[in-house]
Structure 1
Amino acid sequence: MDHLPEPQLGADLFLLHAPSVFDFRERDDMLFAYLSDSDSVNVTSVYEIYPIGWFSIKQRLADNGFDTKIVNVASLMLMHPELDVKKLISRFEAPIFGFDLHWMAHCQGSVELAALVKEVHPEALTIFGGISATYYAEQLIQYPSVDVVVQGYDTLDPVTELVTRVRQGRRDFRSIPNLLYKTDGEVQTTGFSHTPEKNYNNVRNDWSYYRDVTDAGPEGSKLIMTLPNTGCAHDCGWCGGSRFAYRNIMGVRRTLIQKDNDLVVEELRTMSEAAKRTSIYALQCYSENRTRMHQYLDAVKELGYKSVHFEQFSLTSPDILKKMGESTDSYIMLSPESHDLRISKAAGRGNYTMEQMEEWIPRALDAGVKGIMIWYFIGMPYQDRQSVMDTIAYSERLIRKFGGWGALPLICPMVPFLDPGSQFFEEPEKHGYTIHHRTLEEHRRAMVEPLWHRRLNYSTNWLDRRQLQDVSYEAISRLVEIKGEYGVLPAGFCKAVLRTIDETRTLLGEMERALELDKKLPADLRDQIRDYNRKVLSYTNDQIMPVPRPLGGRWFDDATVPPELIQDVLVSSAAPSQVRGA
């Protein structure tokens, strides 16, 4: 009897997003602890969100006649614990596989996933790109699983030319700018000359694939992101996308480059009627001028988007507030980092006082803004334990004054890493920091440390790594208690969060004691770790509404691999101990 052919998936380029730790499903020697991913966005500690710039690469290649498929391997591994990743990769047919190393959280998983691709498809080309890939290009290219590193904040032209040549059967990349690549094991470089100051990312991202995706949250609600510019005009010392970092990593003087606003509006139109049940997280709109913001808000209103969350660096001006209030259900995300102006300024913010913010909040709400979220950060210069807890006390004042949801305070630790390339990373002593991991390999090893405070690549003169971990749990616990006391969050939510924090701290303590006494984790503790990891990685959560959400339906969850192919690569017949292996 003839066997049916195994389902395959073909492309000119696969873009594969790896989990932070590639074999996370097998790990019983490290804790994916609650809050170790800051819990500030709707992702797990596996960091299953990929950079939105992949849409631009996909569209540019489509415009040139090439098929690019984005596969979120991290998301698939979370949603299908029995997924055989090697078998899945074997069903992909392409001459090139691309990997994002944009955020350092993926430094372990991305290199390991590339190694698996090289094992399964030895003739295929593996390419890396992103901010972190650019920063560590010379170290990254040394890994056997890495064939090409594409440097820069705009890789559209180099990647298009590279795909064109590979599809023509050519592997001579000497005239393509911004590449490090290997020829017979020797590393070649083509220089770093492609640094455009206009027409950056000038393609329309296409969200049409997401219109009919199901399981997208309550009542089919969807969330997309827009990114109208790249780089930054500001200089927050902890940020790898700051003006300082871009000048040093990307070798440019002009560090804020705006996308054609007409393309941003066209992008919004691709959701069509689904816009009415879609929210937007508007990234980096704090760098948009008045004219561009008005055009954006007019499009949001015309297309009927359900709501928009706007990142704002300063206190938004009255005319923009009015426009926000008229366009949709608008929310503003402020991030002063600390209630203390000295700390706020040292962090790169500090352009308004808390008194000025308190005077501005009623004006924003009166203009029709639905709510303001005020983010504070743990791990800043001059910030000791008392300062963090003073921020929590100030947060209680905000909740008492504005009722909670009108002005909602939130706090998170800077984890797992201080961005390489940022001012604090490059000039640590000057700003009161100590760097514990500096090379790419040191960061990769840190990602699999059992205890998350050891993963941190920094400490400060005011808080060591263990203190950063402890004060994070202390501060967030107290803030959750306050929100319960004032009725901002239901008591049941608060009790559940506090139970999870207690369980996490207890388990971390037991692990630390075992490692100190015996230098290893006993079998019964490993069982607890495995059970804990499986539990916290079975749902997503965030601080704004700390309720477990089922996986799936987010814009970055995989929508590429057909269900029948997924079913065909599940290890359904494996023994329980094998099921979670990759």
Structure 2
Amino acid sequence: MSGATGDEHLAHYDAVMLHAPSVYDFRKKPIFYGPVSDVIPSSPVFEMYPIGFMTISAHLQRAGFRTRIVNIANLMLSDPKFDAEKRIAGLDADVYFIDLHWMPHAHGALELAKLVKKHHPDARTELGGFTSSYFWKELIERPEVDLVMRGDATEEPTVRMMEALSEGKDLSSVPNLVWKDAGGAVHDNGLTYVPDDLDSVIFDYGVMIKGVMRTMDIAGSLPWRTWAQVPLTSVFTVRGCSVGCAECGGSRYANQKVCGRHHPAFRSPEKLAEDMAGISDYLKAPIFIVGDIRQAGPDYRSRFLKAVREEDIDNHVVIELFGGAGRDHFSEIDRSFPGGWSIEFSPDSYDEAVRLGMGKGYTNAAIDSTIPAAFASGCSRLDLFFMTGLPHQTRESAIGTAEAAEHLWGLVGKDDGLFIYDSPFAPFVDPGSRASRSRRNGDTGSARGRWRTTGSCWTAPRGSLCSLTRRTA
């Protein structure tokens, strides 16, 4: 059941969503990927497709369009004999959506687009995601790319695009779309669809489950290779962010620059609780709540936790922290999630000067008090993330992470699940982040004066631990 039944040779789809590996020919070439997947569920092949595939599919299906998700990366990874080109040639669709959301997919996404145009010259290829939104001018000039959808909330614009295509209408009225006409001329409709909230977005894991049942293509539908063994689901409190972390492509600065979003768009607390209840109906997998539930203020947090208790959700829940928290917060969390809960917390560095330079203003004392308070309140696991290779970080500062880890482990019991990670800030820098401004503007935001550009690369000051070359393309 890991392969398709062959229905792609028979069934026509209005839209097929293809997820590419980071490097298309990874099975043929010896490749040193670098530490691109050390702290995410997927492998260096980046077989994890973005959740936008599911939300866009749900919106298209509600509008009457037939869609399918095909995780080419996972199929290639799961079966050494899988022929990706043959599978693409056997598909039949009007439009092929290819995500270029994360920077590591730059090679794989464009290679899939080339295969689509080779075997389906009359079909259209569309690229979308954060990286596509940043590099839209470069992408639309490529012969294998027909459409680029910009922005972080593209469900409704995508429906309008598909309606226009199915009715043979002009695409000039579709917001956020960059497109080529029959003569090859490029048109930019502008980034004008930026909704103020997320309540209209459909979050439905049933799209994936029903897709598996319909096609019997398990490997082609799963979010990543090991998902069936260790499933993890997600709900989103927000698109955009109120925090300005220098290295983050989802920061306040990056969202304004790349997605035209000047303030966060939140999912209402009650809708968020409904999303979690919907997942619980399908799966008893852990639910990761993306975004700190305190980001929209104390009223949002209180309403959400009240709604969750009313839904009586017994899945394990993972929460995020964007700063320190105390026992009052954690006690409410523990009361709301009877299936247990854990925490993701990313201070980046235990050096306060480095952390402040990255845009995170809380102190080491806040970290020190947060961790034991969490375990004392019922937290089963806390993942703490540091990075090496940050602006302002000296060799001594980076090595101090090990000393900090020893100190932090000393604050909790030996059976408490405190996991500390130290991942390199390499080899990709998030497009649109303040750190990436050196790529085009010769300026690095909070790291101004500490980084210098060298052609298409940027390097750290001589003598620092992070003096590794970083490429953004």
TM-score by length of 2: 0.85
Which among 360, 371, 380 is matched to residue 370 of structure 1? 380
> 1:37, 1:45 within 8 Å by CA — same for their partners in 2?
yes
Equivalent residues in 2 for 1:281-430, closer than 5 Å: 281-286=288-293, 287-298=295-306, 302-326=311-335, 327=337, 328-353=339-364, 355-402=365-412, 403=414, 405-426=416-437, 427-428=443-444, 430=448
Query: How far did residue 401 of structure 1 move?
Result: 3.5
Q: Does 1:182 align with 2:190?
A: no
Say whether the 8 Å CA contact 1:293–1:320 is kept in structure 2: no
Say which structure, 1 or 2, has more relative contact order (CA 8 Å, 6+ apart).
1
**Equivalent position SS for 1:26:** coil
Q: Distance in 2 between matches of 1:48 and 1:5?
A: 23
Q: 1:228 to 1:360 in 2, by over 3 A?
A: closer
User: For residues 464-507 of structure 1, what are the alpha-carbon distances to aligned partners after superposition, in whole Å with 9 as ceiling and x for unaligned?
Assistant: 798559xxxxxxxxxxxxxxxxxxxxxxxxxxxxxxxxxxxxxx
User: Which structure 2 residues correspond to residues 87-486 of structure 1 after superposition, within 5 A?
Assistant: 87-170=86-169, 172-183=170-181, 184-198=183-197, 200=198, 202-208=200-206, 222-254=231-263, 256-275=264-283, 277-286=284-293, 287-298=295-306, 302-326=311-335, 327=337, 328-353=339-364, 355-402=365-412, 403=414, 405-426=416-437, 427-428=443-444, 430=448, 432-435=450-453, 438=456, 457-461=457-461, 467-468=467-468
Quote the Cα distance in structure 2 between the aligned partners of 1:5 and 1:152: 33
Distance 2:256 2:8 in 1: 49
Distance in 1 of aligned mates of 2:255 and 2:133: 11
Partner of 1:18 in structure 2?
Answer: 20
Tell me, which stretches of 5 or more residues in structure 1 are unaligned?
439-456, 470-582
C-alpha displacement of 1:404: 6.9
Which letter does structure 1 place at the counterpart of 2:149?
Answer: V
Query: Partners of 1:432 and 1:147 in 2: how far apart?
Result: 39
Contact 2:130 2:152 in 1 (8 A): yes
Question: Is the CA contact (8 Å cut-off) linking 1:57 and 1:156 kept in structure 2?
Answer: yes
Paired residues of 2:95 and 2:124 also in contact (CA < 8 A): yes
> Whole-Å Cα distance in 1 between the matches of residues 354 and 271 of structure 2?
38
The CA deviation at 1:296 is 4.1
> For residues 219 and 246 of structure 1, what CA distance do their matches in structure 2 show?
32
SS in 1 for 2:288: strand
Paired residue for 1:63? Answer: 62
Identical positions, percent:
29
What are the superposed Cα offsets for residues 415-465 of structure 1, whole Å, 9 maximum, x if unpaired?
A: 331112111211237152234575xxxxxxxxxxxxxxxxxx543226679
Deviation string for 1:82-127 (max 9, x for gaps)?
Answer: 1111110122111101111111111111011011001010000111
Query: Is the partner of 2:98 in helix, strand or coil?
Result: strand
- Determine if contact 1:384/1:462 at 8 Å carries over to the other structure: no
**Structure 2: runs of 5 or more not aligned:** 1-5, 213-217, 438-442
Q: What's the CA shift string for 1:286-310, capped at 9, x where partnerless?
A: 5343343345445655444332221
Deviates more, 1:157-166 or 1:423-432: 423-432
For the pair shown, which has the larger CA radius of gyration, 1 or 2?
1
Paired residues, number: 440
Which whole-Å CA distance do the structure 1 matches of 2:455 and 2:177 have between them? 26
Match of 2:42 in 1: 43
Larger relative helix fraction: 1
In structure 1, give the amino acid aligned to 2:408.
L
